[in-house]
Amino acid sequence: MAASVQETTDLSKQYDTPMGLAHTTMQALKDRIKLHYDLASDYYLSLWGEHIHHGYWPTDESKAAESKEQAQLNLIRLLLDVSRAELGEGSRVLDVGCGVGGTSRHLASALGCAVTGITISSRQVEIATRLTKTAAASASASATTTPSAAQEVAPDAEGFYALGKGRVKFVELDAEKMGEYFGDGDGDGDVGSKFDAVWISEALSHFPDKALFFRNARAVLRDGGRLVLADWFKAEGLGDKEFADDIKPIEDGMLLPPLCTQAQYVQMARDAGLEPLAEPKDISKDVSKTWDISWSLVQNPSLWAFAFSQGRDGIAFLQAFRAMRRGYANGSFRE
């Protein structure tokens, strides 16, 4: 027993919470990420809404006038534009780390895409499916539809729910297994499927093996398909103090393996056979308002009570909000 407690790995040496709780294996980290989202997703939904990602305010005017909900849609539109992903009716999209499905539903209802959302959290699948059934019932029924009508909405033979001209479904899946699940083997997934786009917004930073994600994305994309990606990064060339003050609290609190730079992502994409269409776009100044709003929202005493009930991880998570704001202000943390 003593030997196993003292055993360390490269990951555990790089990643310790501020209170000393280490991840001894990659699986231990993934288990804690799953538990976090199983427990916290209802709070995310109530505080931040259906799109669990940053808002994008590209101008001073938008910062003054646009809500976080509008800004979140702005980010989706930006990603479509930057990636040159010409998605439309019938386009097949894999939304990796889909959260409670806000982006999946938007791509289905607004563009007519067939979207498969995957998440490691069983609770997020439950919430995403419930919200989708409610949206489908609202879109297809009369104004007298009651919330109970959502229970009557049924998926098609492939498990998709119709939403506008598109359709959407959600699958509980460790994204590191998506190449196998959606590949050419004899698994239980959509065998032989190829996607027009793999969409991942602010989720890849959670993955211990990021190079594997890029290889999996290449495996499930059709020829000419697009990888649409937004994520969190550390700046190039940080000193020890900058890293300790700004980046380490974010990694610890947000349950992140060591953060990468944008250049490292570009290299991993190329190594996997994916050629970037343009230089990475730094939108840090245009999304940083997200954490000003978030810091205000998390002053809710019930959320802090919930965090304390979760012990080290819960407290470190809320403490990381302050580090996010500081990192954006200092330029050490990027998107």
CA 201 centroid distance within chain: 5
Distance CA 31, CA 174 (A): 10
Residue 80 lies inside a defined structural domain of this protein: yes
Cβ count near 89 (within 10 Å)? 11
DSSP secondary structure string for all residues of 180-214: HHTSSSSSSS-TT--EEEEEEES-GGG-S-HHHHH
Residue 27 lies inside a defined structural domain of this protein: yes
Residue 98 lies inside a defined structural domain of this protein: yes
pLDDT in tens, 74-125: 999 999 999 988 899 999 999 999 999 999 999 999 999 999 999 999 999 9
Residue 10 lies inside a defined structural domain of this protein: no
Domain around 72: 18-334
Distance CA 192, CA 158 (A): 14
Q: How far is CA 260 from CA 48, 79, 251, in A?
A: 26, 20, 11
Is the separation of the CB atoms in 96 and 77 below 8 Å? Answer: no
Is the entire prediction scored with pTM above 0.85?
yes
Give the per-residue pLDDT at 16.
Answer: 41
Residue 7 lies inside a defined structural domain of this protein: no
Q: Strands (DSSP E) along 76-125, which ranges?
A: 92-96, 114-119
Give the per-residue pLDDT at 162.
Answer: 96
DSSP code for 148: G
The b-or-e profile of 245-277 (16+ CB within 10 A means b, else e) is: bbbbbbbbbbbbbbbbbbeebbebbeebebeee
DSSP code for 247: I
**Residue 266: which CATH number?**
3.40.50.150
Residue 3 lies inside a defined structural domain of this protein: no
Give the per-residue pLDDT at 267.
Answer: 97
Give the per-residue pLDDT at 3.
Answer: 27
- ∠ at Cα 39 (167, 257), nearest 5°? 90
Spell out, as residue ranges, where the chain has pLDDT lower than 50: 1-21, 142-144, 185-189, 191
Number of separate domains in the chain:
1
Residue 4 lies inside a defined structural domain of this protein: no
